[in-house]
Structure 1
């Protein structure tokens, strides 16, 4: 068993003050007030590992220059699996110890199992398979005449079958689309993606098989459809208006706002086609209008970045949390909850991660500063050590950490 004592701890919900945290493998044994604090660790604090509810791990992870849009199409699955693992491990070293990939496949599921079994050190990885239509947002990342395409579903029966296939493969959930998107080729944000009957069937089958449904949407009509059909989370949500607030509050429905990536595309800070930049500008303008007042209304936004290693790096999650605090007028503590305990609950892991307490998984970050008091201290440069699944994956624990 290991412990670190005499250090300030924020447990995912509240400030616990100077404490003693002990863990045994991937299990927190205890968190108690420290009676032997000598002030040696006063400059440090501990928070739970961050939980990013919306990432895409399948991009090239190396240092050479590649075309981000074609690399996944021409690279064999046997090779891509190593890049998925490398991207996930990069996120963990930056303090993001739980990730949900929204649009994964068999390669992502393989990495998830490898991490879960301890064959390689890695974060907790939840994988959703997509259920979308031909010529929909999920399909339009592949050129029209390219023969190798992800699966699509173009009738209620096909949707039900594809959900069952994802369940058989071990997927943790499914992702649907109720609007077009920004980066997909020849797409329009306002395009309908699937019929209501197809969407309803997908959600019905997923829920019957115990899987959560995340809904990508950038349009107001897309939000209407997602709410009407009973999704479990809304991704992007840039079409939200005050007319949706009552329903969102009543259901306490989580929304991943993905602020940074849309800002970066709209501002031209990342290499994308002009078409994508123009779409992002429209999305950001609508988002800013719709999100005005959402924070004050208590809408449940959680950390979800759309990080792919290209437009948003694995480690940029810290900046996303700071952007969320500013956008929604939150306190530092409220912003941290959105990135830890509440994000974990949003993806069905609230009883295992995102909180530092006996019986939870041993995922935590040691930083210089106290981000629950000053959100600017939540910065990758301030990270001293990261423990993921009870294993040190980055840095060194401060001198008060002992084994016994």
Structure 2
């Protein structure tokens, strides 16, 4: 690890504006933050963004190059060894745009291997928090694979099978589990209102995950699904489209974070990229009441955090800045509250010590033009001039 001194930068530390400072990085940590001794460099420093909901294994060449390989077809015609390289490339692309921590909410041994390579410093890469999925046969996860395909992701169809699958993911070194309490939008033949797993299966999954020190993130689009998630003690809500005012009060009281994944549902409802008529119809129906429900929940104090559902086909890695801007618009938040959702609050949702820049904390930071905590329009990947991740310069250059 080499040391770096960023002189005369305006620091927003993940919570508040610290003014003009000289910031020192050494040994992978922020080691000193003192009032600037020299002139203003004209640049700002913020913590690296934290995206709590992504899917790394997707085509990494960009939306304009998918060449007909939609989000269902590409995994079926691409060997897993090749997919792992796309996953690493997607993670690095996010990192270079200033997203220095990512949680994959559909991970298996492949993403776990990519994370280890990054953690060992064999390749530069962001911090990966991997969560393994525990879904049922004919559930939301299973219905992403066409019914005629025999080589499918694992499912679990009893409390004991759910516990066994949690243990498999724990063995890989994952830090979390993803469950489902409703159907979804893109899964084939799915219905949002479908129950996914029995209460006994969900209870067993949550119990086993918590016994092994793993967080539980819950995919749900329905009010009934949110009720189940709250009753079973999950640690975060993913999407939360059918959120009710009564549920918002409970979420706020318990401090349970919600990743609203706004842009992907916007894109599906508009068919910005090719989707089935069924998926477009489901997304459009969910959108009817979504924005007001989420804005009311934000006013009630629900802790919304950055989560994009990026996989390269809908949202590309680096579009996290656009998601933050959409969150500010829908939730009615100030620029500073929005940026907290993408840094300190998102990091807290992952139980990570990143997201705040102060001595002793990890040196994951973004150098950029403008002051994004004051102006939502400044939340722009093109304003990024340099990125430090794990104490190393991984994009751009430092003055």
User: TM-score normalized by structure 1?
Assistant: 0.96
Query: Map of 1:326-365 to 2, 5 A cutoff?
Result: 326-349=329-352, 352-365=353-366
1:243 counterpart (243, 246, 259): 246
Return 161-170 or 254-263, whichever deviates more: 161-170
In the alignment, does 2:89 pair up with 1:92?
Answer: no
1:379 paired residue number:
380
- Structure 2: how far apart are the matches of 1:289 and 1:186? 28
CA contact (8 A) 2:59 2:66 kept: no
- Give the structure 2 partner of residue 128 of structure 1: 131
Q: Quick one: distance in 2 between partners of 1:124 and 1:344?
A: 11
Mapped to 2, the partners of 1:396 and 1:49 lie a distance apart of: 16
1:402 matched to which residue of 2?
A: none
Summarize the alignment of residues 73-92 of structure 1 with structure 2, pairs less than 5 Å apart. 73-92=76-95
* Equivalent residue, structure 2, for 1:391: 392
Cα deviation, residue 30, structure 1: 1.4
1:235-291 per-residue CA deviation (whole Å, 9 max, x = no partner) reads 000010101122111110000000000001101212111111001001112322421
Over the aligned positions, Cα root-mean-square deviation in angstroms equals 1.0
Moved beyond 6 Å, runs of 4+: none
Q: Which residue of 1 aligns with 2:32?
A: 30
Cα distance in 1 for residues equivalent to 2:379 and 2:27:
26
Q: 1:149 aligns with which of 139, 149, 152?
A: 152
* SS of structure 1 residue aligned to 2:347: helix
CA distance in 2, matches of 1:285, 1:359: 46
Q: Distance in 1 between matches of 2:162 and 2:271?
A: 36
Counterpart check, 1:21 vs 2:20:
no
Contact 2:325 2:376 in 1 (8 A): yes
Q: Does 1:4 align with 2:3?
A: no
C-alpha distance in structure 1 between counterparts of 2:172 and 2:381, whole Å: 35
| In structure 2, C-alpha distance between the alignment counterparts of 1:283 and 1:37, rounded to whole Å | 53
Bigger mean CA deviation after superposition, 321-330 or 50-59: 321-330
Give yes or no for contact 1:7–1:37 (8 Å, CA) kept in 2: no
Aligned to 2:72: 69
Q: What is the total number of aligned residue pairs between the two structures?
A: 393
Q: Find the aligned partners of 2:70 and 2:214 in 1 and give their Cα distance.
A: 34
TM-score (norm 2): 0.97
Aligned counterparts, 1:2-401, within 5 A: 2-34=4-36, 36-39=37-40, 41-42=41-42, 44-62=43-61, 63=65, 65=67, 66-349=69-352, 352-397=353-398, 399=399
CA distance in 2 between counterparts of 1:174 and 1:248 reads: 20
Q: Contact between 1:305 and 1:312, CA under 8 Å: does it hold in 2?
A: yes
CA apart distance, 1:64: 5.3
Q: CA deviation at 1:147?
A: 1.1
Unaligned 5+ segments in structure 2 are: none
Preserved contact between residue 18 and residue 37 of structure 1 (Cα < 8 Å): no
| Partners of 1:315 and 1:380 within 8 A in 2 | yes
